[in-house]
Amino acid sequence: MEPHILPHHLFSPLRLREVTSRNRIAVSPMCQYSAEDGYPNDWHYVHLASRAVGGAGVVITEAAAVEARGRISPQDLGIWSDDHIASYRKIVDLVEGAGAVAGVQLAHAGRKASTRRPWEGRHALDEAGGGWSPIVAPSSIAFGDGYQVPEQLDAEGIATVTDAFAQAARRAREAGFRLIEIHGAHGYLISSFLSPLANKRADEYGGSFENRVRLLEDVVTAVRSEWPKTLPLFVRISTTDWSEGGWTVEDSVALAGRLTALGVDLIDCSSGGNVVAAVPIGPGYQTSAAAEIRRRTGIMTGAVGMITEAQQADHVIRTGQADLVLLARALLRNPYWPLLAARELGVDVPWPAQYERAKL
């Protein structure tokens, strides 16, 4: 189904159910590896609030683990306990107070769990080093050298994970977030169920396409049961494994249609992560998948990956390739990228009163 393309641009408002983003720029979830026992702290508050002050329309936290065993590292954010709720309310207050929509990404690392932080080598951590065991996955296949061999989740374990996502959604609601993104990309738990390269099961959660997408559909349904109908739900997927015999853009198109029927509002289109692969990285290298999914299903999409320039981001929106651009490294380099992009594009957007003297 061809979506109706209006003359939108990067700084057009974006309506998401009963939530409106002031523009089409989102802060992509970026792990900071700086939490303790899952709790956000001053680093996270400054990191996220500064990007809201800088003019982004949507600010999404880094991956928040729905189970303690679902963290990538011991320093990941978590939302597996009601005790975490209060510490997230400060994020919501800061981000929304600066005019942006506050979102949280719910995640489970699966077979990529219990590892060191990237700057420490990202190899498996044993319990003596602060890690944990077992880690879980669709099949007992390690991600690669230096990673633990995971336990295969049984039916009870799958039900536990699904409920953990639902309870995390409830906590996100109670914290005041207005947007949830389910992390179904990059070889983490949900993504590894989707990919035939990581999922070798022979039960109702493995084998056929319909079986491999079942966990994600279960999670979406569970999250929607706890998440208000008035608020938007995103899903991030790896649109391709970039590897023969793996997940493909065609699979992503088929999945997007199914997720639309379950109440998903936008597909955040990333790629890779299930296996080591040769990825043709370059400016906007994943945007074509976002455009294909949007064109063929009508669902809103988000484009992410090597989007760094104002004209480039604006072109993605104006040409209908995606409805939202999610920036990561560009916003790490400059939290005020949106304000400067507006100036470059000749769009008059308000600056914080405290910074108005710097506006040219």
The residues annotated with a catalytic role in the active site are 188
Beta strands in 233-281 (DSSP E): 233-238, 266-270
What is the residue whose two structure tokens read 């008035």? 230
Q: What spatial distance separates the first Cα and last Cα of the chain, rounded to whole Å?
A: 43
Distance CA 167, CA 264 (A): 18
CB 66 within 8 A of CB 79: yes
The type of residue at 148 is Q
H/E stretch holding 301: strand 300-304
Phi and psi at 129, nearest 5°, equal -95, 5
* Those residues with Cβ within 8 angstroms of residue 255's Cβ, 6 or more apart along the chain or in another chain: 194, 213, 216, 237
Question: What is the distance of C-alpha 204 from the center of its chain?
Answer: 26
Sign of CA dihedral 350, 352, 356, 358: negative
- Cα–Cα distances (Å) from 277 to 55, 115, 206, 244, 272, in that order, read 35, 20, 22, 10, 8
The two beta strands, 19-21 and 14-16, are: antiparallel
> What DSSP element (H or E) covers 290?
helix 287-297
